[in-house]
């Protein structure tokens, strides 16, 4: 089954908004075995929408439109759909009652513009939207399926997950596809590829492997396609376990896990607490840790020691040490970790100091130099990194490497 996505909206064509809907939708369609052939972004214009529909009709079996259904727009999408299907708009009582309910709850008066949103093409099967005023629409014509969805990402995703994916699986004969994403950290793509080459070569032909690199991380996605869903799941699980035997130290999670959620789980399981002392990362590690809901159960807090004065007064870093070795040194990172660990009375603590840039670099400590220490029950370990010139990337990579060093230490204990 080949699909085409048509996104409607001038805001995309003037570059005001990045079209994230299409990528999300493509992923979801791929997961149920539908391949996206083309993505087309067109303007809020009757004839442009109509010609995009006609062109997509020649290419794809499934056409999904997003956007162009808002109350302040001139509703060109629905008019174009009516023209394409040779039908007319009719008033839908349920859709109108839903709009009324939404407005009553928000204490807003309903306008004639909003009432227009309750008119839907006569030939469509409506996809009720309880969290917004624009309903989705499902059409069929000559064995092809057309779906029109609101452009608001939250509403579009809700409709797709609650109604569209199920209905597509029933409507089309789709292959069974199982996906599993294995998350690795601390090793680059080409090194990883070398280490797991033999494992990759022995994968059965119905399992495909994709490398998805991002700064500091590589995600490995296994996609298995076949007739027996249970068999696919078992084989993917078996291959995952094999991989785990080869690179146990690099795999930190699966699917939607993050390094910070993994650490949270490790600490909770062991009933341990954490604190941090950050210089160059300036609170970014703390931000990642506290972005996990429930992190207050293991995270005590941080000393963001951006100035050397604070390092000395709050973390008891030796002033002489800073003067002799500089603030970016193994010893200072260690004293920061030890200092906050004692101060906040936690089992684990991270200390980090580095040159994020663009200023502050020197011959022997260029921009991108970072020292990371983790203090734990068994003592302190430290690691040195050299990243690049880009400030925001240095901050991000430093934080990931610090969280990974912490993860390793918890697992080693």
DSSP 8-state assignment for residue 204: -
Query: What is the spatial distance between Cα 54 and Cα 48, in angstroms, rounded to a whole number?
Result: 10
Kindly state whether residue 359 participates in binding its own copies, applying the rule CB under 8 A. yes
Residue 330 CA: distances (Å) to CA of 18, 63, 314, 369, 378: 42, 58, 18, 11, 18
Q: How far apart are CA 395 and CA 403, in angstroms?
A: 12
Query: Interface with its own copies includes 135 (CB under 8 A)?
Result: no
Site membership for its own copies, residue 72 (CB under 8 A):
no
Buried b vs exposed e over 106-116: b needs ≥16 C-beta within 10 Å? eeeeeeeebeb
Pick the binder of its own copies from 20, 72, 93, 107 (CB under 8 A): 20
Are 295 and 369 in contact by the 8 Å Cβ rule? The answer is no
User: Which residues, 206 to 225, sit near its own copies by CB under 8 A?
Assistant: 210, 212
Radius of gyration of the chain (CA): 27
Interface pick for its own copies out of 8, 36, 156, 374 (rule CB under 8 A): 36
Length of the chain: 413
**Measured distance CA(270)–CA(391) in Å, rounded:** 35
Residues whose CB is less than 8 angstroms from the CB of residue 161 and which lie 6 or more positions away in sequence, other chains included: 28
- Where in 306-335 is the site for its own copies (CB under 8 A)? 306-307, 309-310, 313-314
Range in contact with its own copies (rule: CB under 8 A) among 33-41, 140-148, 230-238, 370-378? 33-41
Cβ proximity to its own copies, 55 vs 203, nearer residue: 55
Question: Could you tell me the smallest distance in angstroms from the CB atom of residue 258 to its own copies?
Answer: 12
What element of type H or E holds 286?
helix 284-290
Stretch that binds its own copies, among 71-79, 102-110, 121-129, 298-306 (CB under 8 A): 298-306
Residues 366-405: x/- map of binding to its own copies (CB under 8 A)? -------------------------xx--x----------
Which DSSP string corresponds to 364-398?
A: SS-TTEEEEEEEETTEEEEEEEE--S-HHHHHHHH
State in angstroms the smallest separation of the CB of 80 from its own copies.
15
Q: How many residues make contact with its own copies (CB under 8 A)?
A: 71
Tokens 């009709």, residue located? 57
Of 124-132, 143-151, 186-194, 283-291: span binding its own copies (CB under 8 A): 283-291
The residue within the footprint of its own copies, chosen from 32, 39, 195, 251 (CB under 8 A), is 39
Shortest CA distance to 25 belongs to which of 125, 119, 136? 136
293 counts as binding its own copies under rule CB under 8 A: yes
Question: Could you say which of 8, 25, 222, 312 contacts its own copies (CB under 8 A)?
Answer: 25
Scanning 210-258, the segments in alpha helix (DSSP H) are 229-246
CB of 131 to its own copies, least distance (A): 13
Which of 48, 115, 116, 316 is the binder for its own copies (CB under 8 A)? 48
């Amino acid at each position: 089954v080949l699909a085409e996505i048509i996104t409607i909206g001038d805001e995309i064509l003037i570059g005001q908004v990045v079209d994230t809907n299409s990528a999300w939708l493509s992923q979801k369609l791929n997961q149920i075995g539908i391949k996206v052939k083309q993505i087309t972004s067109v303007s809020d214009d009757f004839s442009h929408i109509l010609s995009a529909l006609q062109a997509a009709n020649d290419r794809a079996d499934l056409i999904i439109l997003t956007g162009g259904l808002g109350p302040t727009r001139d509703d060109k999408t629905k008019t174009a759909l009516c023209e394409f299907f040779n039908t007319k708009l009719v008033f839908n009582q349920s859709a109108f009652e839903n709009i009324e309910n939404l407005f009553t709850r928000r204490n807003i008066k309903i306008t004639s513009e909003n009432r227009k949103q309750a008119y839907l093409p006569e030939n469509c099967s409506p996809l009720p939207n309880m969290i917004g005023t624009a309903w989705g629409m499902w059409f069929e014509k000559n064995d092809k399926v057309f779906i029109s969805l609101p452009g608001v990402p939250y509403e579009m995703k809700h409709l797709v997950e609650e109604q569209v994916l199920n209905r597509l699986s029933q409507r089309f004969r789709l292959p069974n596809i199982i996906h599993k994403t294995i998350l690795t950290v601390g090793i680059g793509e080409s090194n990883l590829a070398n280490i797991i080459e033999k494992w990759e070569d022995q994968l059965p032909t119905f399992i495909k492997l994709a490398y998805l690199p991002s700064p500091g991380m590589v995600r490995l996605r296994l996609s298995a396609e076949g007739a027996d869903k249970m068999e696919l799941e078992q084989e993917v699980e078996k291959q995952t376990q094999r991989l785990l035997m080869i690179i146990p130290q690099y795999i930190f999670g699966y699917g939607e896990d993050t390094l910070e959620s993994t650490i949270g789980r490790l600490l909770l399981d062991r009933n341990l607490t954490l604190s941090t002392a950050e210089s160059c990362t300036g609170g970014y590690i703390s931000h990642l840790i506290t972005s996990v809901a429930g992190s207050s159960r293991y995270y005590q807090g941080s000393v963001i020691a951006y100035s050397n004065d604070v390092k000395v007064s709050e973390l008891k870093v030796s002033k002489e040490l800073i003067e002799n070795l500089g603030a970016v040194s193994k010893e200072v990172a260690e004293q920061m970790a030890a200092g906050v660990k004692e101060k906040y009375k936690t089992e684990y603590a991270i200390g980090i100091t580095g040159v994020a840039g663009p200023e502050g670099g020197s011959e022997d400590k260029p921009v991108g130099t970072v020292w990371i220490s983790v203090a734990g029950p068994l003592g302190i370990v430290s690691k040195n990194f050299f990243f690049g010139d880009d400030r925001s990337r240095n901050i991000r990579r430093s934080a990931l490497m610090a969280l990974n060093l912490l993860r390793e230490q918890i697992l080693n204990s």
